Amino acid sequence: MQVNTYKLTFVFTFVFMLVVAAVSVFQSAWAQEMIGFTDSKGGALKIKTEYFETAQAKQFMSSGKNPYTGDKSALESGKKIYHLYSCNQCHGSNAQGQTAHGLTGPRFNHAKSAEDKGMFEIIWAGTDGGMSAKGKGLMDPNDPENGMSPDEVLKVIAWIRSQGS
């Protein structure tokens, strides 16, 4: 039997192109770019991609913008989470300050707290000035699941911002 090499080449090329096209479509749909996060010393802050579970957290991960800003039900959850993690014990029940200073600005200890991305980094990884890390795996190094998820941190930030500046 004679093999028609032209036909074969054509079929292979066609299948190859289909596979390439499919892979690039899936990549653009699923591969989420992560913006660079920094710790309080300006070093790279690595956060596991899988911690960004919700659509809103994923959006923040790739844009640095907090999708919960001004979102009423997110603000309510944010307030609960703020109290659940005892932020109120140091920063006051309305984030106005208590043993530690207020979080509503406009003046901050760390200038980057004025931006949601910067405040996220501080809540997640802490500072060397007395604020301990609250992010998953960092809050309790013996239990990777103990601590706030990025989604929770974003809700807390949205609530803090709603308390005025």
- Residues engaged in binding ligand HEC (CB under 6 A): 85-87, 89-91, 100, 103, 108-110, 113, 119, 122-123, 127, 129-131, 134, 156
C-alpha separations of 76 from 32, 67, 95, 99, 149 in Å? 28, 15, 14, 24, 17
Distance between CA 105 and CA 147 in Å, rounded? Answer: 25
The partner residues of 101 in beta bridges, in order of sequence, read 97
Query: Strand runs (DSSP E) across the chain, as ranges?
Result: 37-38, 44-45
Kindly tell me which of 32 and 109 has the beta carbon lying closer to ligand HEC: 109
> CA 142 from chain center: how many Å?
22
- Minimum Å gap between C-beta 13 and ligand HEC is 56
- Minimum Å gap between C-beta 11 and ligand HEC is 59
Kindly tell me which of 52 and 82 has the beta carbon lying closer to ligand HEC: 82
- Minimum Å gap between C-beta 93 and ligand HEC is 12
Closest CB to ligand HEC: residue number: 129
Angle at 17 between CA 15 and CA 22, to 5 degrees: 95
Kindly tell me which of 8 and 67 has the beta carbon lying closer to ligand HEC: 67
Kindly tell me which of 79 and 134 has the beta carbon lying closer to ligand HEC: 134
